[in-house]
Every structure is written in structure tokens, then in C-alpha cells.
């Protein structure tokens, strides 16, 4: 039996086995299409005991949909994305994916490690962005569903070969998405290497707590637990400075509407078309702790971001321009969604003062981020 036919028959059997699969806690697998080189890709539907749903594909580890209730119990899909695999293959501004080997930019697409110079793919002007031309967002991962005491989970595995996009070392990566019964989407990252390399993995979900395609995110209220950020140059490369957010539009230590100061031009901050910066989180330890809190006053949805990472890239969807049609035919205009990408700082391989992103064969890369959903109490 062909791979796709097996997939289709498998999904029919699974659907028959639990007739109302989406409403019941558990797991469902269905075919999602094929990549240009013929690899079959699936869509995995995870449902928790509250009826919250996450749909994840093993192409790029993309969270295609995330359905959560508002304050009246009305469910909406709160992440931007496409209905079909073809659209993800054509032109995807990193909607919902796993980013790797290195989240955000590496200046000039080069770095030196242990005295050896490495040249990476340059896919963002002169710089390297989000792992290169074919980053972890564009590869097919091996997927293993499982369920444990915390909820339903999807384990994704990928072996990034020595030299891929210019990086040294075979990197074995495991990313596990867990949809918990506390309405959390938890992401656990693990990686090991056989040669010294650099690693910085993140998730690139574009969130809109009013629902994907329901307008822009300017009225969302954001708190970022960070009293410093990393200013950037015109190419969005950090200047090495850690600057106080105080008295700048970057101050989200107290909750503020995203639109309130987004257009405040400040040459010093090289502000450009909106927020697209790394905040250095105020942390007491490397344990999982609160990094950001996002609230939609309109629908009462709340999303908290917890992480073990030292930074978060708040990107306000500035480069969306209405040319992409998303799920259910909805158009995604400028700032239709925002990303809160937990990470080590951009360009760390070239910035000795930043926390290190070096992974060695005797070490283990370990990172956890949780997106936790709830609603404002009346
Ligand atoms: C970056 C942006 C980039 C976007 C790509 C963000 O993580 O910070 O500069 O344009 O990803 O969609």
C-alpha cells in the first residue's frame, strides 16, 4: 500500500474509532499533503480535556491552528496560518514553525568557533536569518504521538547534518509539543551534537487573541518582564548594548497597549516599521518562569509566556502586508499577528558579552517554553 493511501486509511480508522475526535481529549492523525520532493506530511490534532485543540504538522513543526475559548466560552483559532500544505511550501513568513538551527540573525552569515571560521547561508540581505535558506521550518520531521500525565504530546525528531546551511556538526534535535489539561501549549527542545556548534531554537507562532484574520493586534495589552532590550542597527543586528527600557516605547514592564507607542519614531532605537527586537528578560534563575503576558481586552483571552530562555523577540508582524490569504480565506494585513519568540539573543555567536549559544559534544541543549491560555475574570 502506498504511503499516502496508508495515511488516508489510517486516518479513517482513527476517526471511526472516536467519532467526535475533536471534542474528546486525545489525538488524531490525517494526511496533510506532500512536499515538492514527494515526502508525505501529516496533520496531528491534539485535544485536551477542556476541548482546546492544537493542530500541528510535521512539516516544519508548524502549529497550523490553536483553538481556545474566549470569556464567553466561544472558541477561536488564535494563530495565523494556512489551510493547506501547498501554501506553506510556497511562501510562509515563518507562521507557527520551529526555527533552527539559529533563531533570528547572525551578522554577515558568519561566526568563528574555537578559532575556526564558518560561513552560513545568507538569506536576509547580507545576514543569516532563522537557520538559512532551508531551516528547520522547511524540513519534514519524524513524528511520534504520545500521551502522558501532562496531556497529549507530539514528539518531533530531526537530524540536521554536519554542514547543513553552513553549520558544523550533526545535530540531533527533538522538539516535543504537549497540550496540557491546563490549556498550555508546552514546547520542550533537546539537542545534541558531535562537533562544537551553535544552537538557538524557537517557536515562531503569530498570535492574535481575537482570532486569526480578525484585524490587527494593536489593541492587545502586553507585559514583558524585561527592564533591558538589545538595540539594533539598520540590518536588525544587535549593537552589543543592553539598554534600559525606561522612558522608551520599549517599556512593557507595566502592561501597555501595543498600538500606544508603536509608531513613535526614535532614531536611536532604529525603530523601523514597528517592534522587532529582543528583550533581555529579568530572571532570578534559569528555571521556567514568566516572560510575557498578552491580553485581548475585546475577547478576554489571555496568553502567558513562560520560558527557560534569557530573551524574547517581540515581533509585531510589521512585514505582513495583506498579500497573504490565510485560513478560511482571511486576509492578513500589517500587524495581523504578533510573535513572542523565546530565545538566546540574536547574533550571539559574534557577541561575546551575550549568553553563549555554543553546544559541545559533551553537552546537551535543553530549553522549555510554555504558552498558557486563560480568560480575564469578569
Ligand atoms: C524577525 C523579523 C522577521 C520575521 C520573519 C522575526 O523573528 O525578528 O525581523 O522579519 O521573524 O517573519
Q: Give me the CATH number covering residue 317.
A: 2.70.98.10
Q: Which pLDDT score, from 0 to 100, does residue 150 have? A: 82
Separation of CA 12 and ligand 1 centre (Å): 38
> What's residue 24's pLDDT?
81
Question: Which residues are registered as beta bridge partners of 47?
Answer: 26, 53
Backbone angles phi, psi at 41, to 5 degrees: -125, 140
pLDDT at 269: 62
- Ligand 1 neighbours by CB, cut-off 6 Å: 93-94, 104, 236, 276, 313, 315, 319, 339, 341
Tell me the C-alpha distance between 228 and 266, whole Å: 16
Quote the ligand 1 centre to 289 CA distance (angstroms). Answer: 24
Which atom of ligand 1 has the smallest separation from the CA of 93? 12
Report the C-alpha gap between 64 and 353 in whole angstroms: 37
Q: Is residue 161 part of a domain?
A: yes
Per the domain annotation, does 117 fall within a domain?
A: yes
Q: How many domains does the chain divide into? A: 1
The verdict on residue 245 lying in a domain is yes
Question: How much is the pLDDT for 149?
Answer: 82
Q: Give 10-residue mean pLDDT values along the chain (378 residues).
A: 35 34 79 96 96 97 98 97 97 97 98 98 97 98 90 96 98 98 97 98 98 97 98 92 94 96 69 86 96 98 98 95 94 96 98 98 98 92
Residue 235: inside a domain, yes or no? yes
Question: Which ligand 1 atom minimizes the distance to the CA of 204?
Answer: 7
Residue 325 lies in a domain: yes
123 is a domain residue: yes
Rg (C-alpha) for the chain, rounded Å, is 20
Whose CA is closest to 299, among 372, 221, 183? 221
Parent domain of 182: 6-376
Query: Global pTM?
Result: 0.93
Bond before 101 cis per omega within 30 degrees:
yes
Counting atoms of ligand 1 from 1, which one is nearest the CA of 346? Answer: 8
pLDDT on residue 270? 54
Q: Catalytic residue positions? A: 204, 341
Is 1 within the bounds of a domain?
Answer: no
Ligand 1: which residue has its CA nearest to atom 10?
319
- With CA atoms as reference, report the closest residue to 295 among 258, 327, 262: 258
Amino acid at each position: 500500500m502506498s504511503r499516502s493511501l496508508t495515511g488516508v486509511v489510517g486516518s479513517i480508522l482513527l476517526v471511526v474509532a472516536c467519532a467526535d475526535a475533536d471534542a474528546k481529549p486525545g489525538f488524531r492523525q490525517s494526511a496533510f499533503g506532500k512536499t515538492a520532493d514527494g515526502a508525505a506530511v501529516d496533520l496531528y490534532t491534539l485535544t485536551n480535556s477542556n476541548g482546546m485543540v492544537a493542530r500541528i504538522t510535521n512539516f516544519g513543526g508548524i502549529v497550523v491552528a490553536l483553538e481556545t475559548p474566549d470569556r464567553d466560552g466561544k472558541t477561536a483559532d488564535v494563530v495565523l496560518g494556512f489551510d493547506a500544505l501547498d501554501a506553506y511550501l510556497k511562501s510562509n513568513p515563518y507562521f507557527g514553525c520551529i526555527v533552527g538551527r539559529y533563531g533570528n540573525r547572525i551578522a554577515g552569515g558568519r561566526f568563528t568557533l574555537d578559532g575556526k571560521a564558518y560561513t552560513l547561508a545568507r538569506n536576509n540581505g547580507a545576514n543569516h536569518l532563522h537557520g538559512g535558506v532551508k531551516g528547520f521550518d522547511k524540513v519534514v520531521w519524524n513524528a511520534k504521538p504520545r500521551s502522558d500525565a501532562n496531556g497529549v504530546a507530539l514528539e518531533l525528531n530531526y537530524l540536521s547534518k554536519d554542514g547543513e546551511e553552513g553549520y558544523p556538526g550533526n545535530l540531533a534535535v527533538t522538539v516535543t509539543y504537549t497540550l496540557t489539561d491546563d490549556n498550555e501549549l508546552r514546547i520542550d527542545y533537546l539537542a545534541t551534537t558531535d562537533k562544537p556548534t551553535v544552537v538557538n531554537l524557537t517557536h515562531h507562532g503569530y498570535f492574535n487573541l481575537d482570532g486569526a484574520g480578525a484585524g490587527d493586534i494593536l489593541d492587545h495589552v502586553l507585559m514583558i518582564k524585561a527592564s533591558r532590550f538589545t538595540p539594533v542597527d539598520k540590518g536588525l543586528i544587535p549593537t552589543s548594548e543592553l539598554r534600559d527600557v525606561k522612558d522608551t516605547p520599549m517599556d512593557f514592564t507595566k502592561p501597555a497597549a501595543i498600538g500606544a507607542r508603536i509608531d513613535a519614531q526614535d532614531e536611536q532605537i532604529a525603530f523601523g516599521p514597528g517592534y522587532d527586537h529582543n528583550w533581555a528578560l529579568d530572571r532570578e534563575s534559569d528555571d521556567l518562569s514568566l516572560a510575557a503576558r498578552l491580553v485581548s481586552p475585546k475577547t478576554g483571552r489571555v496568553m502567558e509566556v513562560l520560558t527557560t530562555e534569557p530573551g524574547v523577540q517581540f515581533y509585531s508582524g510589521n512585514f505582513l502586508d495583506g498579500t497573504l490569504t490565510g485560513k478560511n480565506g482571511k486576509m492578513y494585513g500589517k500587524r495581523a499577528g504578533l510573535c513572542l519568540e523565546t530565545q538566546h539573543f540574536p547574533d550571539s555567536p559574534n557577541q561575546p558579552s551575550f549568553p553563549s549559544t555554543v553546544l559541545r559534544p559533551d553537552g546537551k541543549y535543553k530549553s522549555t517554553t510554555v504558552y498558557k491560555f486563560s480568560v480575564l475574570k469578569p
